[in-house]
Amino acid sequence: MNSSSVRKIRIGNTPADGGTRASSIEVGGESCLPYHQFEGIMPCKPVIAWEIPDVRPDDWCETVKDPYRELLGDPVGWARYVVEKHGARIICLDLRGARLDKENRSAAASVELLRGLLKDVKVPLIIKGPGPGQKQNEVIAACAEAAQGERCLLASAVGEEYKTLVAAAIAYGHLVVAESPIDVNLCKQLNILISDLSFPSDRIVIDPLTGGLGYGLEYTYSVMERIRLQALSGDAMMQMPFINFVGGEVWKAKEVKMPAAKEPMWGNERERGVLWEVATAVSLLYAGAGILVMRHPAAIAVVEKTIENLMKNG
């Protein structure tokens, strides 16, 4: 890889690397703008991570709960289902149940769940903590230890609170998501801060933060574009692949939830929701997304297909 390409990142360790995953996943490595394969190489295709919440997601809207109906309170069964039935290549375990404003589950409970998941499901894993604060540090540190050697992607290190998460990733051999609020300089600054802790740059994934379609998506788009241009012109502190948490942004939008009975002009809300997630995800692909964290199987199927087409024809 030359000095003006995005770093290639590997998530998940197979037994050969000292882990227990059946496969690992690589993202990044491109030396051109997204899908401009006539100008350079794009060795890894973008990947979709299936979002699995640790507790019953009562705030999810019906459209996106429906496909998983009997699995909603059973994260391990849910994960097994998406891997076996939908061919999921990577899972994003969302430890939202540990949030103080949710069920405030203990770090021990998160660890127990994680162990069960690692045992039953053999794809690589993204572990998303409950969000900034003391709880995040407790939960992520405990989970990082429990998943030692599995090379998981830990989300997310943020501006003022990145040290505990990064330290856990160093200690137990994981990767980190560096989350900054839609700004090129803040993105680079966090990458430098994390690197200052002697954390290798080829284990960082950038989350530039995004909104769903209609909620400032174009702003994320242009920031991602700027980060990528900077990376391709040789800025080592910007040469990380992107992750976008699409599902969480899309499925909270009014446009997704509104029943057709109330807004007949907007059409069937079930189709509308899926299309909203597709449109958001595809836009982010064009901006250079490497990992898309998504929810609805129908949307994921369309985006998978789109990725295939883009890679083939790009």
Task: Report, in Å, the least distance between residue 5 CB and another protein.
Answer: 18
Q: Are 213 and 26 in contact (CB under 8 A)?
A: no
Task: Report, in Å, the least distance between residue 30 CB and another protein.
Answer: 19
Q: Which residues touch 122 (CB under 8 Å, ≥6 apart)?
A: 20, 21, 22, 23, 83
Residues comprising the chain, all counted = 314
CB nearer to another protein: pick between 132 and 159: 159
Task: Report, in Å, the least distance between residue 288 CB and another protein.
Answer: 16
CB nearer to another protein: pick between 10 and 188: 188
CB nearer to another protein: pick between 178 and 302: 178
Alpha helices in 121-183 (DSSP H): 134-146, 163-172
CB nearer to another protein: pick between 70 and 196: 196
Task: Report, in Å, the least distance between residue 145 CB and another protein.
Answer: 21
Q: Are 191 and 235 in contact (CB under 8 A)?
A: no
Cα 267 versus chain centre, distance: 30
Q: Which residues bind another protein (CB under 8 A)?
A: 159-160, 183-186, 188-189, 192-193, 196, 226-227, 230, 235, 237-238
CB nearer to another protein: pick between 149 and 159: 159
Provide the greatest CA pair distance for the chain: 56
Task: Report, in Å, the least distance between residue 230 CB and another protein.
Answer: 6
CA distance 238 to 236: 5
Q: How many CB atoms lie within 10 A of CB 107?
A: 20
Tokens read off for 143? 């989970």
Give the dihedral of Cα atoms 64, 66, 72, 77; nearest 10 deg. -100
CB nearer to another protein: pick between 227 and 300: 227
Task: Report, in Å, the least distance between residue 184 CB and another protein.
Answer: 4
Question: What H or E segment, with its residue span, contains residue 156?
Answer: strand 153-158
